[in-house]
Structure 1
Amino acid sequence: MFIGWGANHILLYNDGYAPMLADRHPDALGCPFFDVWPEVQEELTPLFDAVARGEPVHMADLSLELDRPGRPREAHFAFSYTPVRGEPGDVEGLFCACTETTERVIADREASAARDRLFEMTRDLFGVATFDGYLKTINPAWAAVLDRSHEELTSRPFAEIIHPDDLATTADVVETLMQGELVHQFYVRLLKADGTPVAFAWSAVPDADPASGIFYTVGRDITEEQNREEMLRQSQKMEAVGQLTGGLAHDFNNLLTGMMGNLELLQMRLARGRTDDLDRFISAAQGAGRRAASLTQRLLAFSRRQTLDPKPTDVSRLIRGMDELLHRTVGPETIVDIVDTVDLWPAMIDGTQLESALLNLCINARDAMPGGGRITIEGGNKRLDQRAALLHDMDPGEYLSICVTDSGTGMEPQVIARAFEPFYTTKPIGQGTGLGLSMVYGFARQSGGQVRIYSELGMGTTICIYLPRYDGDAPHDAVDDASSKEIKGSGETVLVVDDEATIRHLIDEVLDEQGYTVIGAGDGAAGIKVLQSGARIDLLITDVGLPNGMNGRQVADAARALRPSLRVLFITGYAENAAVGNGHLEPGMELLTKPFTIEALCMKVADILRQPLSS
């Protein structure tokens, strides 16, 4: 600090001011101020004059050029000038408290310049935006990446360059920022001038002053990262396809060998006139066929293309009804507890597939406890908010969970990561197909749900199936004694549309034996001609996947247009789900999945013909 006394501002200062004087100290003491600092007289005279008039002067940053050996000419000071008054109250001099800020100011400027260079050079998008939807300040990367001019980007609402599907996300982020909260790692795509979307990962923070109405944001182009991830996924997919193909070929070759070998032996015996013990070969061939059918169903379940027959289902009742089956399947060394399933919400699912999924989980749980143990099946109702749904890779909403827990060996993380892959198994050769969990996963996903594995080595495993809640009541079906049903026909006429002659002739033979009249057609057009002929038709059986541009659903719709009360039975080898309404069929329509048994076909035909006619 110093005092400038009298009209010439004679300089009196303390030790703290001496370093600012450099080589002018100590000679400056007692000299007129502007004799000591002649180079700043022009800048400081107006300030000194103001003090002489009794006006204090304060400045946070005063920039001056000073001649001080070994130092830059540029100097910066923060100071205040205060009048010093004599006895009558007249201003006799001034008092200055000052701090030299040169090093800090230059360092700040250099840091700012570095930030500016980074701002100019980076490929990341830096921006200052307003809450009313405009970009206020942007770095050159915006124009370079999006092929748009700086003027276009800052003069139009930024919603115009955001992908339409990401506008809702953007609105949620802006609302959060307006509440003063930071938002990290959200994903919004921007549109280039030609409409091409570019994927960005963003972070945003509101200004410290809420009244400013602005926020700061930075976005990183993740297109290449996504491309690399997609290439990795594709590579993993091809690896899985290779594993799937190899496993499929192995299992089917075994089954085909069993079928073809037994049929060949049967043919040889008949050729030699030996008719004893033929049932053994027939049963063996049929068993191989059933295992092949089960294998294809599991594969279709994994790929989410199995034909589901979803109905409102009382899941609690279904699980309790499996109690005896589960105990019998896992054996006496394993205890099965079914708990907390009484108040479970209903679900719109294929009950048979859920039973199969639970049976698979219990078999896996049993195999994880070679010395016996406890399996617990527990149900629960869950409401998943946005955050919980994101963690489970599901949509927010209401779900019921069915969890199967064992006290077994547990699973390592790398095993959990591959558990749902088809044909992946940790069981010894010959003790598992590797399709059980993949079938469970496919069923849950196809039903709009999810499967999650929670496991720790040595502590056991919990596998939970999550299924969407059905907003309604599940009907309690009456117990059906299949053996007591009459499956014989009474001369009804059935139109069969299937491009596979073998299947068409098989259905013809079976239904003819049951007392029905059967008319066959090789494609949709031929079937429509029969329907237009005026011939009596009581039931239409049609394959879903037909050739020549008309699928089974289209045939059924055309048939209903001609004969509104016609009953329809769809048969399908896999789920052309869109064609059959994803399992949600109109009254008077039923579904039968190939391969089917003769008994199942006869039962289904009898059932649908017994249903009352719709008007």
Structure 2
Amino acid sequence: MKDNLARLAPTIEREVHEAENRRARQRAEGELRESEERYRLLFENNPHPMWVYDLETLRFLAVNEAAVRHYGYSREEFLTMTIKDIRPPEDVPALLENITRIGEELDKAGVWRHRKKDGGVIDVEITSHTLVFAGRRAEVVLANDVTERKMLEEQLRQSQKMEAVGQLAGGVAHDFNNLLTAITGYSDLAIRRLKAEDPLRHHIEEIKKAGERAAALTRQLLAFSRKQVLQPKVLDLNAVVSEMEKMLRRLIGEDVEFRTALASDLGSIKADPGQIEQVLLNLCVNARDAMPGGGNLTVETSNVYLDEEYASHHVGVESGAYVMLAVSDTGYGMDEETQSRIFEPFFTTKEMGKGTGLGLSTVYGIVRQSGGNVWVYSEVGRGTTFKVYLPRVDEGVREYRRSDSPEDAARGTETILLAEDDEMVRRLAREVLEMYGYRVLEAPNGGAALLLCERHAGAIDLLVTDAIMPEMSGRELSERLSHLRPDMKVLFMSGYADTAAVQQGVLDEWANFIQKPFTPDALTRKVREILDAPPAAK
């Protein structure tokens, strides 16, 4: 009995030990199952695409449902593919080079281009980790599609670049406009005093022509930099297109078929009529030049609503109701690199001497300053469409007519207070006004103009002032003088006024304005127009 009990003790002990081992094994197996279940849940239910691939063969070993949905391949298709199959062919060498470095560090990350089943290329941010899967050395990858983010970042960079270039362009144009006012103004005065047969007259006429060409360039620079002073009116865009149609048909030539598709119930916009004409003209000229062998040019208008989703995909766009102007051609189109630079000033794909590179940058500036947006859609070999979106307004439209040719300048005898900080421009304006019979009180700044006004005993009929001067702006000067002389009218002049000044207060919507550089005739016509207008026109 004792011997049997002695033999039984080790057996019991062994059975207890084996039972404990079985329980431990069962616990481990349970924990493993739970771990695998957690892994499957994390892997399968992750909203981002995930996969595991063999580091030796590069074949997919497992993919989650998000990868199937995002890339368009079935799970079965994935498992017959390698990771090279979801990369554009030109990116495969860089992929293989990167794989050779896997294992040097535990976690890897970066942004790569992937190709979906439909051929679309996306940008994905990759995070990966090396592990052992089914006995194979493998890599588990999480992919986050950042295509939209990269697009918005690029739009923001482009917007910031355009803003910086615009600031530079606007400053240069402002300084040049003061110089050009003197060049074109004095050359005009000299031409008037020379007989037709005088040999000097031709030379001075050439100087004036060069000044006028330079002035046209600075106007385009100011348009791009959004530093023009606009005189917005409520407009029917269809009327603008219809008024310009005959001129546009002549401009584009007989080998281009001109078509219009104008919405019958088009909403109104509030913009400067002359600037909207410039936008339409520049876009049509650009379309014509893209079709040297002929083609179709279509001008279209419509009402559109840009929703929050659209605005979120386009930097600087606010959701809301817009009127769209589209100009389409069937020309040679543009590649992506050209499209990314198309609105930059002086960028052109035309031959030397056949374009300034300011046409589309002018469009961009005018549209942005008018509160709108412009986007380009182009395919190489198929053509291009420019879409301009301008905010829709509910105000009534006045009858639209293109500006008639100016009449000869009128003379006068009224007294004018002239405030201008640039000496050349001030001297020129005084000489011109006095030549036409006006009495001129001259001041180099706002403070001097105030003093002159206080000391002058007689009437002052008109203040002609630079809009932006050091220490005291033209608006501040006019407001302070209005208390002394409430009946005095005001004419602002400037090479530019910055966006905030135009939109928020240096010039009111009703303000009279003349853009530098101006000709003697333009100045005297504007002066006469203001003096002859009833007081309510101020």
2:335 equivalent in structure 1: 412
Separation in structure 2 between the aligned mates of residue 328 and residue 608 of structure 1, nearest angstrom: 36
1:513 shift after superposition = 2.0
1:234 shift after superposition = 9.7
SS in 2 for 1:463: strand
2:291 equivalent in structure 1: 369
1:274 shift after superposition = 11
Q: Is this contact kept in 2: 1:312–1:473, CA < 8 A?
A: yes
1:563 shift after superposition = 2.7
Q: Is this contact kept in 1: 2:468–2:474, CA < 8 A?
A: yes
1:390 shift after superposition = 2.7
SS in 2 for 1:579: helix
Identify if the C-alpha distance between structure 1 residues 582 and 281 changes in structure 2 by more than 3 Å, giving closer, same or farther.
Answer: farther
1:423 equivalent in structure 2: 346
Separation in structure 2 between the aligned mates of residue 550 and residue 241 of structure 1, nearest angstrom: 27
SS in 2 for 1:395: coil
> 2:385 matched to 1:459?
no
TM-superposition CA deviations, 1:445-478 (whole Å, max 9, x none): 1111111111112211111111111220121157
Identify if the C-alpha distance between structure 1 residues 274 and 401 changes in structure 2 by more than 3 Å, giving closer, same or farther.
Answer: closer
- Identify the match of residue 400 of structure 1 among 315, 323, 328: 323
2:29 equivalent in structure 1: 103
1:432 equivalent in structure 2: 355
- Identify the match of residue 448 of structure 1 among 371, 380, 402: 371
Q: Is this contact kept in 1: 2:378–2:385, CA < 8 A?
A: yes
Q: Is this contact kept in 2: 1:310–1:583, CA < 8 A?
A: no
1:338 shift after superposition = 2.4
SS in 2 for 1:322: helix
Separation in structure 1 between the aligned mates of residue 323 and residue 14 of structure 2, nearest angstrom: 84
Q: Is this contact kept in 2: 1:544–1:553, CA < 8 A?
A: yes
Between 459-468 and 511-520, the greater mean CA deviation after superposition = 511-520
Q: Is this contact kept in 2: 1:316–1:343, CA < 8 A?
A: no
Identify if the C-alpha distance between structure 1 residues 357 and 482 changes in structure 2 by more than 3 Å, giving closer, same or farther.
Answer: closer
SS in 1 for 2:478: helix
Q: Is this contact kept in 1: 2:409–2:521, CA < 8 A?
A: no
Separation in structure 1 between the aligned mates of residue 330 and residue 214 of structure 2, nearest angstrom: 33
- Count of residues paired in the alignment: 404
Where does 1:196-207 land on structure 2 (aligned, <5 Å)? none
1:216 equivalent in structure 2: none
- Identify the match of residue 226 of structure 2 among 304, 327, 333: 304
Separation in structure 2 between the aligned mates of residue 484 and residue 274 of structure 1, nearest angstrom: 22
Separation in structure 1 between the aligned mates of residue 404 and residue 227 of structure 2, nearest angstrom: 31
Which residue type is aligned with residue 465 of structure 1? Answer: V
2:450 equivalent in structure 1: 528
1:581 shift after superposition = 4.4
TM-superposition CA deviations, 1:27-54 (whole Å, max 9, x none): 9xxxxxxx99997xxxxxxxxxxxxxxx
Separation in structure 1 between the aligned mates of residue 341 and residue 31 of structure 2, nearest angstrom: 59
1:280 equivalent in structure 2: 202
2:89 equivalent in structure 1: none
Which residue type is aligned with residue 390 of structure 1? Answer: S
SS in 2 for 1:308: coil
Separation in structure 2 between the aligned mates of residue 560 and residue 37 of structure 1, nearest angstrom: 112
> 2:483 matched to 1:576?
no
Which residue type is aligned with residue 24 of structure 2? Answer: R
1:571 shift after superposition = 0.5
TM-superposition CA deviations, 1:32-86 (whole Å, max 9, x none): xxx99997xxxxxxxxxxxxxxxxxxxxxxxxxx74476563645xxxxxxxxxx
Where does 1:203-602 land on structure 2 (aligned, <5 Å)? 233=157, 237=161, 276-393=198-315, 394-476=317-399, 483=406, 487-489=410-412, 491-533=413-455, 534-547=457-470, 549-581=471-503, 585-586=507-508, 589-602=511-524
Q: Is this contact kept in 2: 1:67–1:73, CA < 8 A?
A: no
SS in 2 for 1:519: strand
1:138 equivalent in structure 2: none
Separation in structure 2 between the aligned mates of residue 113 and residue 368 of structure 1, nearest angstrom: 57
Normalized against structure 2, the TM-score is what?
0.66
SS in 2 for 1:473: coil
> 2:530 matched to 1:604?
no
2:24 equivalent in structure 1: 73
Which residue type is aligned with residue 73 of structure 1? Answer: A
Identify if the C-alpha distance between structure 1 residues 392 and 565 changes in structure 2 by more than 3 Å, giving closer, same or farther.
Answer: farther
SS in 1 for 2:428: helix
Separation in structure 1 between the aligned mates of residue 162 and residue 515 of structure 2, nearest angstrom: 29
Q: Between Structure 1 and Structure 2, whose CA radius of gyration is higher?
A: 1
- In structure 1, stretches of 5+ residues that fail to align are 1-26, 28-34, 40-65, 77-101, 117-200, 202-219
TM-superposition CA deviations, 1:68-109 (whole Å, max 9, x none): 476563645xxxxxxxxxxxxxxxxxxxxxxxxx51334435
1:522 shift after superposition = 0.4
Which residue type is aligned with residue 454 of structure 1? Answer: Y
Q: Is this contact kept in 2: 1:544–1:579, CA < 8 A?
A: no
1:483 shift after superposition = 5.0
Identify if the C-alpha distance between structure 1 residues 390 and 584 changes in structure 2 by more than 3 Å, giving closer, same or farther.
Answer: farther
Identify if the C-alpha distance between structure 1 residues 72 and 303 changes in structure 2 by more than 3 Å, giving closer, same or farther.
Answer: farther
TM-superposition CA deviations, 1:495-521 (whole Å, max 9, x none): 110011211121111112222211110
Between 562-571 and 499-508, the greater mean CA deviation after superposition = 562-571
Q: Is this contact kept in 1: 2:240–2:400, CA < 8 A?
A: no
1:419 shift after superposition = 0.8
Separation in structure 2 between the aligned mates of residue 475 and residue 452 of structure 1, nearest angstrom: 28
2:96 equivalent in structure 1: none
Identify if the C-alpha distance between structure 1 residues 599 and 114 changes in structure 2 by more than 3 Å, giving closer, same or farther.
Answer: same
Which residue type is aligned with residue 512 of structure 1? Answer: E
TM-superposition CA deviations, 1:345-371 (whole Å, max 9, x none): 221111111111211111111111111
Where does 1:152-191 land on structure 2 (aligned, <5 Å)? none
TM-superposition CA deviations, 1:173-226 (whole Å, max 9, x none): xxxxxxxxxxxxxxxxxxxxxxxxxxxx9xxxxxxxxxxxxxxxxxx9x9xx99
SS in 2 for 1:383: strand
Identify if the C-alpha distance between structure 1 residues 586 and 458 changes in structure 2 by more than 3 Å, giving closer, same or farther.
Answer: closer
- Percent identical among aligned pairs is 42
Identify if the C-alpha distance between structure 1 residues 573 and 467 changes in structure 2 by more than 3 Å, giving closer, same or farther.
Answer: same
Q: Is this contact kept in 1: 2:235–2:400, CA < 8 A?
A: no
Q: Is this contact kept in 2: 1:567–1:589, CA < 8 A?
A: no
SS in 2 for 1:568: strand
SS in 2 for 1:452: strand
Which structure shows the bigger proportion of residues in helix conformation? 2
1:309 shift after superposition = 1.9
1:399 shift after superposition = 0.6
Q: Is this contact kept in 2: 1:544–1:576, CA < 8 A?
A: no
SS in 2 for 1:343: coil
Which residue type is aligned with residue 512 of structure 2? Answer: E
Normalized against structure 1, the TM-score is what?
0.58
- In structure 2, stretches of 5+ residues that fail to align are 1-7, 43-124, 126-143
Identify if the C-alpha distance between structure 1 residues 71 and 587 changes in structure 2 by more than 3 Å, giving closer, same or farther.
Answer: closer
Relative contact order (alpha carbons < 8 A, sep ≥ 6): 1 or 2 greater? 2
Which residue type is aligned with residue 108 of structure 1? Answer: E
Q: Is this contact kept in 1: 2:474–2:506, CA < 8 A?
A: no
Identify if the C-alpha distance between structure 1 residues 366 and 114 changes in structure 2 by more than 3 Å, giving closer, same or farther.
Answer: closer
Between 559-568 and 393-402, the greater mean CA deviation after superposition = 559-568
Q: 4+ runs of 1 displaced by more than 4 Å?
A: 35-39, 69-72, 109-116, 232-242, 477-486, 580-588
Q: Is this contact kept in 2: 1:301–1:440, CA < 8 A?
A: yes
Separation in structure 2 between the aligned mates of residue 454 and residue 115 of structure 1, nearest angstrom: 43
Separation in structure 2 between the aligned mates of residue 38 and residue 518 of structure 1, nearest angstrom: 121
Separation in structure 2 between the aligned mates of residue 317 and residue 602 of structure 1, nearest angstrom: 31
